[in-house]
Structure 1
Amino acid sequence: MSNDEFVEKILKDRYYLPGESSWDDIAKRVSMAIGDNTKQRMQFFDMIQKREFIPNSPCLFNAGTSNPLMSACFAIGIDDSMESIFNAVKMGAQLMKAGAGVGYDFSTIRPIGAPVGSTSGIASGVISFMKNFDVMIEVVKQAGRRRGAAIGILRIDHPEIREFISCKDEEGKFSNFNISVMITDDFITAVKNNETFDLKFNGKIYETVNARELFHSLAMHTHKTGEPGYLFYDHINNANPNRHLGDITATNPCVTGDTLILTSTGYIPIVDLVGKQVDVWNGFEWSSVTPALTGTDQEIYEVTFSNGARLRCTEYHRFPCIDGEKQLSQCEIGDKLIKYELPVIEGVRDLDYAYENGFYAGDGHSNRSHFIAITNIQKLNAREDVYCMTEEKRHQFIANGILTMNCGEIPIFVDPKTNGGESCNLGSIDVSKFLAPNKTIDYQRLRECVQLGVRFLNNVMDKNAYPFQSIADLTLQTRKIGLGIMGFADLLIKQGISYGSRESESVALGLMEFINTTAIEESMKIAEESGCSYPAWEGSDWQKRGIKIANSVVTCQAPTGSISIFANCSSGIEPNFSYVYNRSTWSSGEKRTTTLRHPLFDTHLQTLYEPDEIDQITQWVFNHGSLAGCPVASAETKRLFVTAKDLSLTQHIDIQAAFQKYVGNSISKTCNCPSRTTVEEVEGAIMYAWESGLKGLTIYREGSRNDVVLSVNTETKTDDAIGNPVVAKILNGNGRILPKTPRDMFGMVAKRNSGCGKLYVVIGEAFGDPHTILLKNKGGCSAMTQALGELTALALRWGIPKWDLIKILCGIRCDVAKHNKNSDGASCAAILGDILRDAFPEEEMPSKHEGNQTPPAPRIVSQNKCPECKRELTRSDGCITCQYCGWSKCL
């Protein structure tokens, strides 16, 4: 199968809408939907049709349809409440159904064992709730095209961090989640200095651990399973142009240091309570808290209330209003607070606030309800440090005589209260197509493409169908777009530059600087034409620099799994994973396999080598996944055609760091490393990534997450070899097949017409394969159909290849079915074979052993199999991708 045929198969299976039959049809539909006028539509069509720029898959799926949801991924906020958690599950299901990926930050959920004031019970914790999200993802299929995927994030200082990083150790658990840990500078400092580190939630310390031991545990799990990945909290926020809105995944700042807090011993300034455990009044009862410094140099507002009280706080401070909790920025004059009680306490009379004076001038106590309204909100010309606490029973406390909400970990760009969050709007330029005849980059053509790409993505912002208003509000507030690249590795090959060399880093730096600068200039032109910047511009870094711009962020290096296949180029900024691979097709019940070479690699070999040498080099790369050690290939060939496994972790990180300097948002890249990589080397890579200024890091060690499977090859291979295995399950000591039948299985039900009547087929799925088959025939021999189902399932559990069984089943003919025009197959067996072939596409056909030759010893390989074709998956560009059928999933 050629690459063009392969692309056509993917488009036909997943992308074409009714009436479409070519890439031109998709390009026309998308450009017509996104362009504002005839000229712009023609420009958009031209760059998409030439595959110089391609938007993310949801845009290709949905542009020009009745539901134009064109965002690739969404962040959903989660508040620390049952209602919010399960609303986030529901929202995630709806988003994945529409074809999007979802990100969750679970840091806002209280840890296991924490008290729950509403029920007087204890919390079940983050991991228990993650199970609900994982089940949801498993059963929701994204737009009928691919299985759902999500990323789960937890802060390094969350009390459940150790349970979180080990949650995927057991096979099959949380298989739909990619997990990442948010690392802070404080943690890195503690690791370097061999200090202790506090695990805390909302200011309360649950445990103090050795930082180096926790760091080693992180690296050990990444070494073992490829997870967790890492997000560097302070690097992300230092580069955030909208810091006036607050930190991304940041502590919500609260009240000024002179605020008087009602404690069991009277009113005390919160600054004097920092680090001390005290009892405060939550409006109904006493509750133990530990106040803390939660923000520095924050803008301050003063709120005046109908009882004369005043409170100085940030605009993100929350109040319990009668129509729901509100941030100060959402409050209006006249908003009323909920009623609450005050205790009988002893105190002094000379308080500065009217409420306290009235309190003591009355009957000396209060056990009556109060109903207080906001009368004025004023932004002060002042910046101060701010403080807060976590009150775990009702999340409230009394400040200056006013009932107010406590502060917690609130991602500003993910609103837990509304389950809102930003969405991703992505598109990529194939830079390998912008090369001048002298092998230099054609910057004039590239400039024009960048300018059009920015306008395309900016248009998508306004024509996108946001599934929830809370997501639309946050997305349009900052109007971030993510223009990125693909084809970088191919560009280097065309220029004669080795990926991972210092020269390649210079190319990355210069290329991304040009793209980012050009994109910013074009966004500034859009702002000038429209007469306005993005809504949250005032107070941003852009505003402080005097730059009016339509989009707060313009560049992002996103995964390009499918669209790089369409462009016939290398994925994102990744090195090529391999230069030789197999592609397979079915024809007349037979599976036909073709060995293909990367086009640039093929041209190079055809130019410099003899046919027999080409065969030897091709076989070497196919067997080993790399040219390293190949006795036939020249040093120049090895230098130029570098694969992911040829690079050190340091080289991977250096390339990413070069791009990161001029990428406004994050970068999706996988740092692949050989199986011999040690835990200590992983530790060094994490630290080096932090020192290099990366915002995130993904490490995948070859052979990690090995499951118990066998690979039978036609020759003995080293641990690092890449083979073309037939996968079969291992036997246990008594000869029985593993794994055992699960108690619960996902499955499918199919109804067909057989020669004898209705045929019902139920297939239970376990570990990605059919495990149990039940057949029920309304007519004919029920015993034979039952035996057919059970024997087929047994054969599959024993590891007999599906292609072999399908070939036999589809070849069975039945005279009754032959004479029944309503029959869906030539026999009951043939119908079952068709269903298996459609539902569970098979992996590669094994090589045959001739004569009495003894097969070689099996070796353990990864069971990271494609859910569609069951071939081994490739981890690169922040995605897992199948290079055989095109299936992909974002990490």
Structure 2
Amino acid sequence: MPVEAEPVNKSKTYTQDEAFEAAVSYFNGDDLAARVWINKYALKDSKGNLYEQTPNDMHRRIAKEIARVEKRYPNALTEDEVFNLIKDFKYIVPQGSPMAGIGNPYQTASLSNCFVIGNSGASDSYGGIMKIDQEQVQLMKRRGGVGHDLSHIRPKGSPVKNSALTSTGIVPFMERYSNSTREVAQDGRRGALMLSVSINHPDSEDFIDAKLEQGKVTGANVSVRIDDAFMKAIKSDGEYTQKYPIFSSTPKYTKSIKARKLWKKIVHNAWKSAEPGILFWDTIINESVPDCYADLGYNTVSTNPCGEIPLCPYDSCRLLAINLFSYVEQPFTKKAKFNFELFKKHVGIAQRIMDDIIDLELEKIDVILGKIEADPEMDDVKAIEHNLWLNIKKKAEEGRRTGIGITAEGDMLAALGIQYGSEEGNAFSLQVHKTLCLEAYRASVYTAKERGAFAIFDSEREKENPFIQRIKEADEKLYYDMLEYGRRNIALLTIAPTGTTSLMTQTSSGIEPVFLPVYKRRRKVNPNDKNVRVDFVDEVGDSWEEYVVFHHRFKQWMEVNGIDTSKNFSQEELDDLVKRSPYYNATSNDVDWLSKVSMQGAIQKWVDHSISVTINLPSDVDEDLVGELYLKAWEVGCKGVTVYRDGSRSGVLISNEEKKEEKQQELLTAFPIKRPQTLEADVVRFQNNKEKWIAFIGLIEGKPYEIFTGLADDEDGILIPRWVDKGVIIKNRDEKGNSRYDFQYKNKRGYKTTIEGLSHKFNPEFWNYAKLISSTLRHGMPIDNIVELINSLQLDSESINTWKNGVGRALKRYVADGTKAKGHTCSNCNSENLIYQEGCLTCKDCGSSKCG
């Protein structure tokens, strides 16, 4: 029977204010960390009741569950032993899904952070493609990020045996999968998707260009799988042959291209928009230990959304980070040193805890399967979801894959007085990651001795693998112990991004350097209050106070060196402080780019999965540097690389400054003032204050032209089947000759069904506002400005305000990604540096996202 944990104290609940006050105290006044913890990780039920007041309660919940699993095995860790390692986010930090889900009886969700799905056999059929779509959605609703590869889809123009006669190619299915991702949310967390394709595929150029088109593929990250043959063709300026099926010895279709021409397209797009990312596929496959078992279903096909976990179909991974800063003794002093012995001990325990979490994940999957079986739907409706989780359970049970990583690399080096990106820094980081690798593998071997090896372990299959050979060369005893006892886990290590985790550890994120040691925030103030300083008055007359925020460990450096952290520093004094600190010339914008790539390649030798790292570039670098960095990454053995040029996201839709005026004029004349009788329309569903809403957005050339919205579940509301997402709006006349707007869609039998008189679904006040907003749309006002206009409307009626919010939320979907949001501040950090991303307001400073 599946086991469902009980909350630590199910009789006691806390208000948001009680928890926030206690959490702020726990985090020593850090309200951002407190809010992140409450919103994402504190135990709560579907009614919003909070069962945990501080992270200590959460850590006790997790420790209790880990200890319960430990009792099944020899030499069990106690609850207190686990608690003391994970409390205060000091040493071992379960990430994301494990933190939120372990011991959580209120949420039927997986503990896996990421999944990869895929098809075998007739995988390019429409049925196979739709099956992946449904599997993707089913995983995302359980809180998982998903990746899958599109190289199995036949290229555009290929013959097919249906009424279409020829294939549409990859791009339409990219849009489908992207749209599905945008529709799925779980507890405020939007779906995350990685789409990849092989450079060997004839449609790879279309794939590379797909995200540059406005409104297309906004719900997915995209990466290109590049093989060594393509890279060699670039260097020699040679030809490269694309095929379908890819890499087939008897392909149905071939196409010869100039490798450098396509390479320049990749580099240009990455320079312009930070995508596509690159996956060096031969390096991934050749180094992959799981691919030694490819014929048993462990052939790597894609990665998770951030690229740090290459996976086979239906495998998943759980993540855990070790806080490197906590192993620096006497930090920021001349006596600072890294405690390697304690680090080794904790890595071994962390690997053991990760294996326990797999047992807890298998229990969660049993609960999910039980829920599916108990659901009232027909068996054929439930079949795909049911089989999906059976497949995932098999891989988790058989391979027992883990994902141990790190956080606080930047702070660790600074605390030791070593400059990030220097030769000394790269060498020390390499030593730490090599130690982490050997100790994690040692723990997996000794856990196998006590608990048994993963089910298909076979030393003969692995003996020529470069990664295993590297372990043999570094530690022969470990290698021969592995031959004797096996290994508990098929693969163990990764370096993932640790966004919210690092907010709670109050350190730099993952392997990255510190973003900024000092920055400024603003908070809105009442200028009439006593002792309030007004530093800035915005365009609408609101007053703001600016205040300095120190990175937590920079502040610790100040305290160690006797610097008063409460002083009101001038900008010159702050600049001088940074120059005196170990963070000088060691931020994300300071680090030498080629040095960072070299560091990643060296560390990758000791990480059996991959590394999520971004090379940050200033806005004025040229495209050639991006190409140079990519080539260097391949040469030094990186498995993947992402380059982000400052401001490149916001430049996706406008190619250069000179075209802005021309683009604006084009926008203003894009629509006919006289409405066509029939318009294509998107159907957008959303919830607003727990009410179900529906919007019909009339489109011309994909751009919003008019909008109708209403309640979807009210007696007088608009009822439309869930599967309908498109149709047409027709302008008709009623029997009195008045204008009437009808919505028409096709039902499942192909017959047209009409919803009459959309305009009559509103009272006159609603309808008049709809006409006003539609008029601004028709005259070409940019969508973000219209959203701001709607938000600024001063309306007395509560129902009208609710309707106003609904219209704004529907239209935000059409705001171009990267558009700066004016007049907004981040609710987490008060930054004004907000942009629209996939219809949501996203803070570029702290990463917080709000879709309301």
Listed as ranges, the matches of 1:792-811 within 5 Å are 809=794
Q: TM-score, normalised by structure 2?
A: 0.68
Partner of 2:569: 614
Q: Is the 8 A contact 2:242 2:255 kept in 1?
A: yes
2:239 is the counterpart of 1:196: yes
Partner of 2:59: 27
Partner of 1:441: 338
1: distance between equivalents of 2:254 and 2:112?
Answer: 39
Q: Is the 8 A contact 2:233 2:240 kept in 1?
A: yes
2: distance between equivalents of 1:564 and 1:617?
Answer: 29
Q: TM-score, normalised by structure 1?
A: 0.65
Partner of 1:503: 424
Task: Indicate the larger mover: 59-68 or 478-487.
Answer: 59-68
2: distance between equivalents of 1:74 and 1:774?
Answer: 36
2:134 is the counterpart of 1:90: yes
2: distance between equivalents of 1:510 and 1:471?
Answer: 35
Partner of 1:484: 405
1: distance between equivalents of 2:255 and 2:666?
Answer: 46
SS at match of 1:429: strand
Name the CA shift for 1:654/1:886 in 2 (closer, same or farther; >3 Å). farther
Name the CA shift for 1:156/1:441 in 2 (closer, same or farther; >3 Å). same
Structure index of larger Rg: 1
2: distance between equivalents of 1:801 and 1:118?
Answer: 43
Partner of 2:81: 43
Partner of 1:144: 187
Partner of 1:72: 113
1: distance between equivalents of 2:616 and 2:212?
Answer: 20
Q: Map Cα deviations across residues 809-831 of structure 1 (whole Å, 9 max, x no partner).
A: 4xx667xxxxxxxxxxxx44555
2:456 is the counterpart of 1:535: yes
Q: Percent identity?
A: 22
Cα deviation for residue 498 of structure 1 reads: 1.6
Cα deviation for residue 30 of structure 1 reads: 2.3
1: distance between equivalents of 2:693 and 2:157?
Answer: 48
Partner of 2:277: 229
Name the CA shift for 1:869/1:435 in 2 (closer, same or farther; >3 Å). farther
Residue type at the aligned position of 1:223: W
Partner of 1:56: 95
Name the CA shift for 1:200/1:9 in 2 (closer, same or farther; >3 Å). same
Cα deviation for residue 509 of structure 1 reads: 0.4
Name the CA shift for 1:585/1:94 in 2 (closer, same or farther; >3 Å). farther
Cα deviation for residue 169 of structure 1 reads: 1.3
Partner of 2:841: 870
Cα deviation for residue 12 of structure 1 reads: 2.5
Q: Is the 8 A contact 2:117 2:148 kept in 1?
A: yes
2: distance between equivalents of 1:227 and 1:519?
Answer: 33
2: distance between equivalents of 1:100 and 1:747?
Answer: 22
Residue type at the aligned position of 1:45: F
Number of residue pairs aligned between Structure 1 and Structure 2? 658
Cα deviation for residue 618 of structure 1 reads: 8.4
Cα deviation for residue 33 of structure 1 reads: 2.5
Partner of 2:318: 425
Match among 531, 535, 551 for residue 598 of structure 1: 551
Q: Is the 8 A contact 1:706 1:862 kept in 2?
A: no
2: distance between equivalents of 1:539 and 1:870?
Answer: 52
Q: Map Cα deviations across residues 250-274 of structure 1 (whole Å, 9 max, x no partner).
A: xxxxxxxxxxxxxxxxxxxxxxxxx
Q: Is the 8 A contact 2:588 2:616 kept in 1?
A: yes
SS at match of 1:643: coil
Q: Is the 8 A contact 1:113 1:124 kept in 2?
A: yes
Name the CA shift for 1:193/1:95 in 2 (closer, same or farther; >3 Å). same
SS at match of 1:451: helix
1: distance between equivalents of 2:301 and 2:153?
Answer: 16
1: distance between equivalents of 2:442 and 2:312?
Answer: 34
Listed as ranges, the matches of 1:64-463 within 5 Å are 64-66=103-105, 67-78=108-119, 79-116=123-160, 121-141=165-185, 143-202=186-245, 203=248, 204=251, 205-246=253-294, 316=295, 411=300, 420-437=313-330, 438-463=335-360
Name the CA shift for 1:584/1:4 in 2 (closer, same or farther; >3 Å). same
Cα deviation for residue 576 of structure 1 reads: 2.1
Partner of 1:679: 623
2:508 is the counterpart of 1:570: yes
Residue type at the aligned position of 1:481: T
Q: Is the 8 A contact 1:102 1:150 kept in 2?
A: yes
Partner of 1:406: none
Cα deviation for residue 637 of structure 1 reads: 4.2
Cα deviation for residue 201 of structure 1 reads: 1.7
Residue type at the aligned position of 1:732: Q
Partner of 2:499: 561
Name the CA shift for 1:549/1:764 in 2 (closer, same or farther; >3 Å). same
The structure with the largest strand share of the pair is 1
Residue type at the aligned position of 2:80: M
Residue type at the aligned position of 2:153: I
Residue type at the aligned position of 2:686: M
Cα deviation for residue 863 of structure 1 reads: 8.3
Residue type at the aligned position of 1:40: T
SS at match of 2:148: strand
Q: Is the 8 A contact 2:773 2:786 kept in 1?
A: no
Q: Is the 8 A contact 1:241 1:541 kept in 2?
A: yes
2: distance between equivalents of 1:85 and 1:26?
Answer: 40
2: distance between equivalents of 1:678 and 1:58?
Answer: 39
SS at match of 2:665: coil
1: distance between equivalents of 2:216 and 2:512?
Answer: 29
2: distance between equivalents of 1:739 and 1:645?
Answer: 43
Partner of 1:471: 392
2:595 is the counterpart of 1:657: no
1: distance between equivalents of 2:342 and 2:262?
Answer: 50
Which consecutive residues of structure 1, in runs of 5 or more, have no partner in the other structure?
247-315, 317-328, 331-408, 620-629, 711-718, 720-727, 754-758, 815-826, 848-860, 874-881
Match among 670, 689, 705 for residue 649 of structure 2: 705
Q: Map Cα deviations across residues 27-53 of structure 1 (whole Å, 9 max, x no partner).
A: 222222333247433222222222022
2: distance between equivalents of 1:742 and 1:883?
Answer: 38
Name the CA shift for 1:139/1:581 in 2 (closer, same or farther; >3 Å). farther
Partner of 1:883: 846
Partner of 1:692: 636
2: distance between equivalents of 1:768 and 1:455?
Answer: 53
2:715 is the counterpart of 1:744: no
Listed as ranges, the matches of 1:738-777 within 5 Å are 743-744=681-682, 746-748=684-686, 750=688, 774=709
2: distance between equivalents of 1:762 and 1:413?
Answer: 35
SS at match of 1:102: strand
SS at match of 2:320: strand
SS at match of 1:644: coil
Q: Is the 8 A contact 1:730 1:738 kept in 2?
A: no
The structure with the largest helix share of the pair is 2
Cα deviation for residue 145 of structure 1 reads: 2.2
SS at match of 1:732: helix
Name the CA shift for 1:885/1:869 in 2 (closer, same or farther; >3 Å). farther
Partner of 2:731: none
